[in-house]
Structure 1
Amino acid sequence: MGNFFLKRVYEPFDDSDGFRILVDRLWPRGISKEAARLTAWQKEVAPSPELRKWFCHKPELFEEFRAKYIEELRTDEQKLSIFGELIQLTSEGNVTLLYGAKDPVYNHAIVLLEELNRIIEEVKA
């Protein structure tokens, strides 16, 4: 069974990355598709355009952003379907969620990883 990991898309590829899934709605600036070495681009699991624009990576909005994004993740059928696919991939190996944000603490990928791990723990219980 693999695990989920987070990594900026600009960090170098590593064999331990396993499946490399870009989880941003927009393509990250300054990186080619070849350099990204993606397995898939799951842009629909990212925050809605409205939520993304509202948050604008402002740390003071992060807790409210987290709550709104979790609500999207738990109620949007397309996001829930992608969750199932991502969790299934861990049965085959590691899954690295790639994001483009500069801030490694206040970004949507952190929330996404927490929610994926929460679901996995619920399933195990």
Structure 2
Amino acid sequence: MIKRAYAPADEDDGYRILVDRLWPRGVSKEREHLDLWMKQIAPSTELRKAWSHDPNRIFEFAASYRRELDANPAVEELEQIIRDHPKVTLVYGARDPDVNHARLLRDYLEERMGSEA
């Protein structure tokens, strides 16, 4: 499951992981109720800046982000966390609920893990 950082935390979220490299603006750490901040799973700063959240470049960004994930040892750590918790929510700060890296990360993990994700 993915959820925007600006949406209220809920008990149904389970284990909450912020998957952004930067802390979401205007969000207090106390209100967010995060279990983990995994900066290292987010797109690299260079990739994020090159993409600039341009919806017209989402496919290009997705391919580049997947290549980064393929080489990222944090993916295995995240997969283990998913196996260890009955429910995990990937929390992100982007405005667009459809065009964001958390959605791509969720899809990537589902492909790798099958029904476990």
Q: Determine whether 1:10 maps to 2:6.
A: yes
Deviation at 1:35, TM superposition (A): 0.7
Gaps of 5+ in 2: none
Q: 1:86-101 residue pairs with structure 2 within 5 A?
A: 86-91=78-83, 92-101=85-94
Q: Write the letter of the residue equivalent to 1:28.
A: P
What is the RMSD of the two structures over their aligned residues, measured on CA atoms? 1.5
Q: Determine whether 1:83 maps to 2:79.
A: no
Residues 1:65 and 1:14: Cα distance change in structure 2 (over 3 Å): same
Q: How many residues align?
A: 115
Deviation at 1:47, TM superposition (A): 0.4
CA distance in 2, matches of 1:115, 1:109: 10
Of residues 16, 24, 27, the one that matches 1:28 is 24
Residues 1:122 and 1:90: Cα distance change in structure 2 (over 3 Å): closer
Q: 1:62-81 residue pairs with structure 2 within 5 A?
A: 62-76=58-72, 81=73
Q: 1:96-115 residue pairs with structure 2 within 5 A?
A: 96-115=89-108
The answer as to whether partners of 1:86 and 1:95 remain within 8 angstroms in 2 is no
Give CA-to-partner distance per residue, 1:92-120, whole Å, 9 cap, x none: 22000000000011111111001110111
CA distance in 2, matches of 1:58, 1:49: 15
The normalised TM-score by structure 1 is 0.86
Deviation at 1:121, TM superposition (A): 1.9
Residues 1:110 and 1:54: Cα distance change in structure 2 (over 3 Å): same
Q: After TM superposition, which residue ranges in structure 1, 4 or more long, deviate above 6 angstroms?
A: none
Gaps of 5+ in 1: none
Other-structure match for 1:117: 110
The normalised TM-score by structure 2 is 0.92
DSSP 3-state at the match of 2:89: strand
